[in-house]
A and B are shown apart, each in its own frame.
Chain A
Amino acid sequence: MKEIEVALIGNPNVGKSLIFNNLTGGRAHVGNWPGKTVEKKEGRCIHKGVTMRIIDLPGVYSLTAASIDELIARNYIVEERPDVVVDIVDASNLERNLYLTLQLLELEANLVIALNKSDIAEGLGYEIDVKGLSELLGVPVVPTIATVKVGMEELKDAIVEASKRGVKARVRYREDIEELIERIGNILKRDENLTKKYPARWLAIKIIEGDKEVMRLIEERGLMGELREVIG
């Protein structure tokens, strides 16, 4: 039987654990991330002949690598390349939550969005154009209410679908930034071992941001000299 790896991610308090429990039936293997005192939960879900290994990533607002939780989540997605990443978004606080979504798109993760707390959003009078959101982001969006298990079958369907399709969406920036991304990317691509492990485009974006972890990596690979000519 086919087995796929599915990572769950989202801001704190979006109902991620509840969705994890709904998907896995509450049976989880609990451990720690290697060398860290952060809990790692793993479970299984079988849907339409596909076994999903579900990994619960720490709740984070961002993937800047500023905290250990963020670093764990980011490294997992970059290095393990799960088949599908489910981004659980709080529908009652979209603007705040979509920042993480953007960072996941930058990471070229194979995203499925669970628009959770749809009932609360509705109660607040929000009308979310689910189809429009999905088209805008280029990824499937599934409304869910984890507390009463609404949308779980649809979410599983979307995960299986996405695993067959692979990554489609990406974020495009202003022309001058895109040019810079390309120039940096071309330098990075000379180091095949590096770009085999990390998406060149993502590295380029992080270099422009001055991300500390990525800068350290670039330094280690001895690419700093060439990069200086481009980024000054």
Chain B
Amino acid sequence: MERRLSELNPGESGIISRIEGRGEERRKLLDMGLVRGTRITVVRRAPLGDPIELLVKGYNLSLRLDEAEGVYVKPV
């Protein structure tokens, strides 16, 4: 079952299945290593839930919630 990355709780992981959007925003996400097939873990959330900290390709990445919304993951 596919879920949005923005809906994952801290500690949960998923495999990126697709990235919505186009143009520069999508390109930037791809540049940061968010590509299909990549395993991604939500490390923690900021107090108000935005931004979220992720572990991807061995490094920590912080994304705004609206950026994470376009990223879809499947369970590991």
Contact = CB atoms under 8 A, between A and B. Distances in A.
Main secondary structure of the interface of B (DSSP, over half): mixed
B27 interface: yes
A10 to B, nearest CB: 14
Main secondary structure of the interface of A (DSSP, over half): helix
Interface string B27-71: 110011100000000000000000000000111000000000000
Given A93-B58, A95-B57, A61 B24 contact: no
A38 to B, nearest CB: 19
A96 interface: yes
A209 B22 CA distance: 12
Contact of A66 (B31, B57, B58, B59): B31
A93 B58 CA distance: 6
Interface in A90-112: 93-96, 99
A93 B59 CA distance: 7
23 contacts: A61-B31, A61-B32, A62-B31, A64-B27, A64-B28, A64-B31, A66-B24, A66-B27, A66-B28, A66-B31, A93-B58, A93-B59, A95-B33, A95-B57, A95-B58, A96-B33, A96-B57, A96-B58, A96-B59, A99-B31, A99-B33, A209-B27, A212-B24
Those 4 A-B pairs whose CB atoms lie nearest each other, nearest first: A62-B31, A95-B57, A96-B59, A96-B57
